[in-house]
């Protein structure tokens, strides 16, 4: 390990956002920064002093800033990791790129396709890398499957469907600065935070990414969609989207935060290709190895995905920042497909339907709809809309 440290070019890292999900990046830097030859250049988080990690960061010599511009006034960083509320991604990424940092920005890339395009323009002007944190793109098992899809081993993609049902309590929507489930912030910046743009965004993005050319993903060209909400939010907590992709494949996406605790369904998918059916998890099951069953009866095991953790994203982006000739598996172009899908969902249904009050229960701070899990599983299994 020591030899590895010596041979690695040291990198300075700016963390933009340090609480919530960003706490994972803080931990990674504090626990494994040295072995990765990473130095914490600064932490930008206006609420840093309220964070559980504050004392430890301070004790380890971290310097804190209220805005990215305050940091760049007198400092520089090889890499900026942005894990802030969605409305800040575009302005912060643009600023970090303009100041010469490579950027790893958490998903979704931004609230609107226009914001993602601004980020792409800033990247191109800077010559730096802009990576988005959809972790399935960095996952070894998923990358092995992607290589086979790109090589044509599975044939043409035909129909992909994905489901994830994660109950989320009222406290989830009230966390942080109260941006969750909102369309715009107080300054008028778009957020459009919803079940499909945030917690379950990975599983929608994965379908678009997997069947697109290279790592740039495929666009949705048309869809039937229904969004609904049980929670008191501006967007939606439940979605069934039946879409057609630019290459003719179909994609069904089923997700909700409004199921009860016993309605939880971990991510599962069935991806049908011309020559094979690929499965991950199943109804009532936790995620498993990604398995392809080919029409000739043979089975290929792509291995177990490691969906948690930030290490694989950080490692890949650091390697690219060090000049290693590695591809970036989640470029902003891939995330742009997801942002465009979200824009199309808003265009098709600007306001979510509201579950009738009589259908909704509130238990232990969780707003949920009895029977919704079964209905959504039926949509997924029978390729039905809500
Ligand atoms: N990849 C994943 O699996 C995953 C999981 C969860 C969240 N996320 C993403 O991480 C991002 C943050 O989500 P969250 O749930 O952690 O949010 P959060 O509100 O819980 O935490 C956001 C953090 O950013 C800080 N912050 C707020 N305004 C800021 C600003 N202007 N500048 C710098 N820091 C600021 C807050 O103080 C807080 O520490 C979102 O884009 C979300 O989609 C990704």
Query: What domains are there in the chain, each with its CATH number?
Result: 2-135 (3.40.50.720), 139-307+332-382 (3.30.360.10)
Beta bridge partners of 38: 11
**pTM reported for the whole predicted model:** 0.97
Q: What pLDDT is attached to residue 3?
A: 43
pLDDT in tens, 259-274: 999 999 999 999 999 9
Rounded to the nearest whole angstrom, what is the distance from the C-alpha of residue 222 to the centroid of ligand 1?
Answer: 31
* Average pLDDT for the chain: 96
Rounded to the nearest whole angstrom, what is the distance from the C-alpha of residue 23 to the centroid of ligand 1?
Answer: 9
Asked whether the beta carbons of 266 and 276 are under 8 A apart, the reply is no
Ligand 1 atom index nearest CA of 84: 24
For residue 148, what pLDDT band results from cuts at 50, 70 and 90? very high
Rounded to the nearest whole angstrom, what is the distance from the C-alpha of residue 199 to the centroid of ligand 1?
Answer: 12
Checking if the pLDDT of 35 tops 60, the result is yes
C-alpha span between 317 and 304 (Å, rounded): 22
Checking if the pLDDT of 188 tops 70, the result is yes
375 closest CA partner among 228, 180, 215, 185 = 228
Axis-axis angle for helices 140-150, 201-210 (nearest 10) = 30
pLDDT in tens, 342-380: 999 999 999 999 999 999 999 999 999 999 999 999 999
C-alpha span between 207 and 195 (Å, rounded): 16
pLDDT in tens, 296-344: 999 999 998 877 689 999 999 999 999 999 999 999 999 999 999 999 9
For residue 287, what pLDDT band results from cuts at 50, 70 and 90? confident
Measured from CB, residues less than 6 Å from any atom of ligand 1 are 16-22, 44-47, 83-86, 88, 106-107, 133, 135, 175-177, 198
DSSP structure string for 13-54 = EEEE--STTHHHHHHHHHHHTTTTTEEEEEEE-TTGGGSTTH
Ligand 1 atom index nearest CA of 201: 43
**Cα-based distances in Å from 235 to 45, 69, 194, 332, 350:** 26, 31, 6, 24, 9
The enclosing H or E element of 294 equals strand 289-294
C-alpha span between 113 and 88 (Å, rounded): 14
Which residue's CA is the nearest one to ligand 1's atom 33? 45
Mean pLDDT, residues 211-228: 97
For residue 6, what pLDDT band results from cuts at 50, 70 and 90? low
C-alpha span between 248 and 202 (Å, rounded): 21
pLDDT in tens, 83-139: 999 999 999 999 999 999 999 999 999 999 999 999 999 999 999 999 999 999 999
Which residue's CA is the nearest one to ligand 1's atom 32? 45
Residue with tokens 């489901």: 163
Which residue's CA is the nearest one to ligand 1's atom 4? 21
Q: What pLDDT is attached to residue 69?
A: 98
Q: Which of 52, 62, 106 to mutate to test the pocket of ligand 1 (most atoms within 8 A of CB)?
A: 106
Rounded to the nearest whole angstrom, what is the distance from the C-alpha of residue 332 to the centroid of ligand 1?
Answer: 18
Residue with tokens 């990604």: 290
Question: For the CA atoms of 283, 284, 288, 291, what is the dihedral angle to 10 degrees?
Answer: -30
Checking if the pLDDT of 218 tops 50, the result is yes
CB within 8 A of 48, min separation 6: which ones?
18, 19, 54, 57, 64
Q: What pLDDT is attached to residue 176?
A: 86
Axis-axis angle for helices 311-321, 22-32 (nearest 10) = 70
Rounded to the nearest whole angstrom, what is the distance from the C-alpha of residue 16 to the centroid of ligand 1?
Answer: 9
Mean pLDDT, residues 282-290: 90
Mean pLDDT, residues 182-205: 98
Mean pLDDT, residues 35-39: 96
Rounded to the nearest whole angstrom, what is the distance from the C-alpha of residue 86 to the centroid of ligand 1?
Answer: 7
């Amino acid at each position: 390990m020591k030899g590895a440290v010596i041979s690695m070019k040291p990198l300075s890292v700016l963390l933009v956002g340090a609480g919530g999900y960003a706490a994972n990046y803080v931990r990674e830097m504090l626990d494994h920064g040295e072995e990765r030859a990473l130095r914490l250049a600064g932490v930008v988080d206006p609420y840093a002093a309220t964070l559980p990690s504050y004392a430890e960061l301070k004790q380890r010599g971290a310097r804190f800033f209220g805005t990215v511009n305050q940091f760049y006034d007198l400092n520089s960083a090889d890499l900026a990791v942005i894990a802030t509320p969605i409305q800040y991604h575009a302005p912060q990424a643009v600023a970090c790129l303009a100041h010469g940092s490579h950027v790893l920005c958490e998903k979704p890339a931004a609230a609107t396709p226009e914001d993602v395009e601004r980020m792409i323009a800033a990247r191109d002007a800077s010559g730096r890398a802009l990576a988005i944190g959809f972790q399935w793109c960095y996952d070894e098992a998923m990358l092995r499957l992607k290589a086979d899809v790109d090589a044509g081993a599975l044939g043409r993609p035909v129909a992909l469907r994905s489901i994830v049902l994660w109950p989320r309590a009222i406290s989830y929507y009230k966390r942080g600065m109260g941006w969750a489930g909102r369309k715009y912030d107080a300054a008028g910046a778009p957020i459009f935070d919803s079940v499909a743009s945030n917690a379950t965004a990975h599983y929608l993005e994965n379908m678009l990414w997997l069947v697109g050319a290279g790592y740039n993903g495929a666009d949705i060209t048309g869809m039937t969609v229904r969004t609904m909400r049980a929670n008191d939010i501006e967007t939606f907590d439940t979605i069934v989207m039946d879409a057609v992709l630019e290459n003719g494949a179909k994609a069904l996406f089923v997700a909700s935060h409004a199921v009860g605790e016993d309605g939880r369904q971990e991510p599962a998918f069935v991806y049908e290709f011309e020559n094979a059916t690929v499965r991950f998890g199943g109804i009532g099951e936790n995620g498993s190895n990604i398995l392809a069953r080919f029409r000739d009866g043979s089975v290929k095991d792509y291995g177990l995905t490691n969906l948690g953790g930030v290490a694989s994203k950080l490692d890949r982006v650091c390697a690219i920042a060090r000049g290693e000739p590695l591809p970036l598996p989640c470029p902003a172009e891939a995330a742009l497909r997801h942002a465009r899908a979200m824009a199309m969902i808003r265009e098709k249904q600007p306001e979510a339907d509201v579950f009738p009050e009589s259908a909704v229960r509130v238990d232990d701070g969780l707003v949920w709809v009895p029977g919704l899990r079964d209905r959504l599983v039926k949509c997924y299994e029978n390729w039905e809309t809500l």
